A and B are shown apart, each in its own frame.
Chain A
Amino acid sequence: EDKVVQSPLSLVVHEGDTVTLNCSYEVTNFRSLLWYKQEKKAPTFLFMLTSSGIEKKSGRLSSILDKKELFSILNITATQTGDSAIYLCAVPMYSGGGADGLTFGKGTHLIIQP
């Protein structure tokens, strides 16, 4: 059974701090790993990672994948109160049909204090 474990489950930091969120996975047929941000309801897509060692970057957010050690990290630098959210890590459950549901971790609840 595919498994995704995120840590920490919750994190409180001050504005301006840098945070690192962790995601480890066990997947039968690895294709990709995805990061989402969930603020109120809809998870919004952040990154998709398929290759080891290649950093994906968007503004203050960046992510990298290690396929050998089966983990990914999401970094947020110079955090702002608007970064407060639940950050979700997910991997597709391979079915062979081209449309695979995602297995999600429990998420990291990040709170940025002013």
Chain B
Amino acid sequence: ETGVTQTPRHLVMGMTNKKSLKCEQHLGHNAMYWYKQSAKKPLELMFVYNFKEQTENNSVPSRFSPECPNSSHLFLHLHTLQPEDSALYLCASSIVGHPYEQYFGPGTRLTVT
């Protein structure tokens, strides 16, 4: 148990659906991150939140919409996704400052049909 939980663990959705991924950290951290892991590609950063403020959007399409209501919770809202968005979506958290390590949740395996 890493202290970072994600739900759901698996999700199948059609291209016209709207769904949300949830992440919660129990480590007392104040920065949270979304990453995407596609087959045969390195883990890619999507978004960074620092004390609930979005500080990075790594050129992510607008069909992905993050929300960070407080420093313990992070959401990724999904709408009108494409089949190529099928991937493992990983949430991570850390303290703010350098140096630091990031701790990852178990991920949500998303399949877009």
Contacts and interface: CB of A to CB of B under 8 A. Distances in A.
Interface in B26-67: 31, 33, 35, 41-45, 48-50, 55-56, 58
B106 A100 contact: no
Given A34-B101, A44-B104, A45-B101, A101 B48 contact: yes
Nearest to A48: B101
A97 interface: yes
A99 B90 contact: no
Interface stretch (A20-28, A70-78, A102-110): A102-110
Contacts of A4: 42
Given A41-B88, A101-B58, A88 B99 contact: no
Interface residues of A, number: 28
A42 B96 contact: no
For chain B, which range describes its interface: under 10, 10 to 19, 20 to 34, or 35 or more residues?
20 to 34
Contacts, number: 80
A102 B47 CA distance: 11
A107 B39 CA distance: 12
A58 interface: no
Contact of A101 (B41, B56, B101): B56
Contacts of B35: 101-102
Contacts of A43: 43, 90, 104
Given A31-B98, A34-B101, A48-B101, A104 B43 contact: yes
A95 B55 contact: yes
Nearest to A101: B45
A102 B43 contact: yes
Contact of B56 (A32, A95, A103): A95
28 contacts: A4-B42, A32-B99, A41-B109, A42-B107, A43-B43, A45-B101, A45-B102, A48-B100, A88-B43, A92-B99, A95-B56, A97-B50, A97-B96, A98-B50, A98-B98, A99-B49, A99-B50, A99-B55, A99-B94, A100-B48, A100-B98, A101-B56, A102-B35, A102-B43, A102-B45, A102-B102, A103-B45, A107-B42
Interface of A: 4, 31-32, 34, 36, 41-45, 48, 50, 88, 90, 92-93, 95, 97-107
